[in-house]
Amino acid sequence: MSILGQTINPPTGRIAVVADGNSPDPDDLGGTAVTLALLRASGLQDRLVHYSHSCDLVRDDRISKQAEKERHYLMQVACDMTARRWGGFDHITFYDALWQKEETINDLAWAINASTAEDPLWIIEAGEPDIIGMALKKTPKAKHKYVKVVTHHPANDNAGDFYTWQHILDFGVEEVRIPDQNINLKVKLEEWDWAKNHKDPRVQLVWTMGKMAEVDDVVKFQKGKWDCSDAGMVLYWITGANVNNGLEAGSVSVVKSILLDFIDNK
């Protein structure tokens, strides 16, 4: 399938996503909804083998205990509701990385253990690296050469409370780094009016999740913005990653085309 000149041509292997959302920045609400919708719309939902959220393991003083608790619930809704409405994710349990820490680490470790040269694991670092490090520590060194960690922003790499980015690399995984996805995927609210006003409730749901982040009152820098920046890493993987010349500069227009092509043809 070709969308705006971009071909849906993922590399071999499976994909795992570790997101935060319980940290001060609420952008993972929209990022999660777009990520799941993109995987379903491109027919790649079966290759998702792990999804966890709320991976910020030590609360930041910039977010209150009450607000962080809200985020845990909102992130679970973003996961479960998007997955149910778009369909195709019955094989996945969406874990809360802080509230279900052991289960989350075990689930990601299982995915790492299943990795081979023919079936590598691509981990999307959509939050702090700690859970990734803990899962890597629990798995055989021999498996780590079949693990690739995709990142787009040092703010995630350097936010760990237990693992630095260098610690992650020292496990022997492959670093897959792309440019900052905020450049094209953190945009004015109006650029998502097509989703807000769309007749299909699945598309409206995706917009609603991003709007929830915009009205959040913990940080100021999301005001007037619709942000799904972390989903740019999934878009990069869907279109080929570093194997098949994936799209490094994700855009709302490409996200829109993939989602609406699925809605219009299914």
User: Average pLDDT of 118-132?
Assistant: 98
Q: How many domains does the chain have?
A: 1
d(CA 179, CA 151): 9
Contacts of 70 (CB under 8 A, 6+ apart): none
What pLDDT was estimated at residue 157?
87
What pLDDT was estimated at residue 1?
55
Helical spans, DSSP H, in 5-128: 28-41, 65-86, 101-113
The enclosing domain of 107 has a CATH number of 3.90.245
What pLDDT was estimated at residue 6?
59
d(CA 77, CA 227): 17
Output the pTM of the full model: 0.96
The amino acid occupying position 167 is H
d(CA 120, CA 165): 20
What pLDDT was estimated at residue 11?
97
| Contact between residue 207 and residue 200 where contact means Cβ atoms under 8 Å apart | no
d(CA 118, CA 38): 24
pLDDT in tens, 188-229: 999 999 999 999 999 999 999 999 999 999 999 999 999 999
CA angle 261, 87, 260 (to 5 degrees): 15
Tokens for 29, please give them: 């609400």
pLDDT in tens, 62-110: 999 999 999 999 999 999 999 999 999 999 999 999 999 999 999 999 9
Domain ranges, residue 254: 2-265
Contacts of 231 (CB under 8 A, 6+ apart): 30, 31, 32, 34, 35, 38, 181, 185, 250, 255
